Structures are given as structure tokens and as C-alpha cells.
């Protein structure tokens, strides 16, 4: 597990460093790289909102099930 974490950390550091160097040197791919980075952040934002929505639905479903179970016990 430590090796996988270390590999992921090194990969992230290399990718971040490489991206920073390319963005600072104003290459031909600068605009495309910025667009991809923007898409990545949008996907992260959407993922977080989707997790939030899923959590609310799961809690709502659990509350409904508990309510139905408690009504069955009372009757």
C-alpha cells in the first residue's frame, strides 16, 4: 500500500511540475492544456455535487424505510 501511495505521489508531482513548466514557457499547447485543466476542475465540482445529491437520496430512502418499519411495528 505504501508503494502504491508513493508511486501516486511521485506521478502527481511529476505531472504537476511538467504542467507548470509548460504553462510558464508559453508553448503552442498552452491553450489546450488550460482547457483540459478547466475540464478537470469542472468534473471534480460535478462529482462533489453528485456525491452530495446521492447522499441526500440515501438518507431520504433510509428515513422512509425506518418510517415504514416503525409504522408496521406500531400496527
Global confidence as pTM: 0.60
- At 58-70, the pLDDT tens digits run 999 888 888 877 7
Query: Distance (Å, rounded) from C-alpha 1 to C-alpha 3?
Result: 5
Provide the pLDDT for residue 67.
83
Query: Distance (Å, rounded) from C-alpha 8 to C-alpha 43?
Result: 20
28 phi/psi in degrees, rounded to 5: -65, -25
Report yes or no: 23 and 30 within 8 Å, Cβ to Cβ: yes
Cell of 48: 462533489
Q: In the chain, where are the structural domains located?
A: 2-74
Amino acid at each position: 500500500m505504501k508503494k502504491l501511495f508513493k508511486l501516486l505521489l511521485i506521478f502527481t508531482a511529476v505531472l504537476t511540475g511538467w504542467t507548470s513548466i509548460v504553462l510558464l514557457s508559453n508553448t503552442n499547447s498552452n491553450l489546450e492544456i488550460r482547457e483540459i485543466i478547466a475540464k478537470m476542475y469542472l468534473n471534480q465540482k460535478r462529482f462533489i455535487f453528485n456525491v452530495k445529491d446521492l447522499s441526500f437520496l440515501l438518507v431520504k430512502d433510509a428515513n422512509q424505510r425506518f418510517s415504514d418499519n416503525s409504522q408496521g411495528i406500531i400496527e
